[in-house]
Structure 1
Amino acid sequence: MQIRYRMLVFKMSRLASQNKLTAVQEIGFATELAELVVKEGIAERVVQELFDDDHPQLRRIAVNAIRRTGRFDVPGLQAALLRRLSDAEPWLRHDAVWVIQEAAMDGGLVRAGLRRLAGTVQLPQDAVRAKSNPGDALLQAQVRARQALDALLKKDAQAALAALRATLATFAALNQEPYGTGTVGQMNLARRELQRRMAKRALSSSTRLTFRRVEGPDGKAAFAETASTARSGQTSDDAAGDPS
């Protein structure tokens, strides 16, 4: 039972301890381990035993194997990935963020871990720099962490905007029909509207005072009061007396 798993782990451990485990072999072992996880249902065992292995290559193989399987509901997976976000090996941090992205994980601890890893990296300028330096493992990990964090923040902003639009739509509907026909509220609303119209009509028909510049008896400038009414349209001018 699970003999293939134990043999595979033994083979990987021996090569890693001898520093003979190449990047191509890592990919091959991750693929083989992912197949075992699917066939034998050992995802939880892989997370418990290999995610915290002493050798970074075995840890990375385990992380990528779980990513390939898509088994993201494994107990303890999120906690194990959070530990890998602060791994001493930058490529392991990168792969841990990759799994978090594909698993659509979210939460305060996840965001805090991504924020710590991203550091002062800014997009898109650092993403361009990372593209020009594909071998810079730390920069690649930081850029991916920033991208994952920005995606989560964007999701929050979209949710808040949708909630705001729904609230505004509700208020708009209320403003169209705030009260039912024949209710006290509807009658008070009609009364206030009538009062506003009457006040506007009274204001438009009232006397308005304007002033025009004239010269006084002593030749100094003075102002004469002009009264006009919107109803009659007539104006009358009275010369201003000498203020002295």
Structure 2
Amino acid sequence: MSVPWLSTDEPFPTLHQNFNPEPEMPGLIAISEEISPEQLLRAYSHGIFPWYSDGQPILWWSPNPRMVLKPKNLKISRSFKKDIKNILLDRDWEIKVDENFHETILSCATQTRYGQDGTWITHAIIHAYGVLHEQGYAHSVEIFHQGHRVGGLYCVNIGQMVFGESMFSKKINASKIALASLCAWCIAQDIEMIDCQQETNHLTSLGGKAIPRDEFLAHIKKQCSAKNPKWGFNKNVLSHWLTTHS
């Protein structure tokens, strides 16, 4: 079996537990020359996401197992809980949603990451997700300190499912503050799972867990058909973690 090449309007292959067209690259399920916002929405609703480097064709992935984070399981240490309390009391700290999606995704693209050269967030990716943002599917959570954007993340939301994409941090724990805010909001919205895509030690340390792809696909099939929640919150959403044992 070989990995299929798709045009932007062709359907993705049907996935199942043992689907793996390229054993040497587990999780790679399709390739395309271009990427479109419509194709992205189809991909996410079928448990697929793009990940590639500049100069490569678009590589589409659906790993088995799949890394996810249940918002209620986010690990909040005692020291981080103290940080949250200080942020809530300090007027210098603000959390905004969709304040400047473009600047947020650019910051994620230029974030230096250990062991990585370059970025998968190419111009084509920035454009496609920018369109999804305009359509109400892609969102940014942005952390400000003394008026400066110091951290944040962007994600995709379809129905009652959130697909995490990338984070950045210019100040210690700023990206974790964004994630804690997103998780607290998800809990309030009864969103049970955030897709984290690929298993890493960092995500595991935050409470992420790898689950079988079939389990993940069954979950998103149900959740993506629900109505999208209204986005909008501020730093007060973090109060959830002061009354929760983690």
TM > 0.5: no
Answer with 1 or 2: which has the greater Rg: 1
Q: Which has the higher contact order (CA 8 A, sep 6+)?
A: 2
Q: What TM-score results when the alignment is normalised by the length of structure 2?
A: 0.24
Q: What TM-score results when the alignment is normalised by the length of structure 1?
A: 0.24
Q: Which structure has the highest strand share of the two?
A: 2
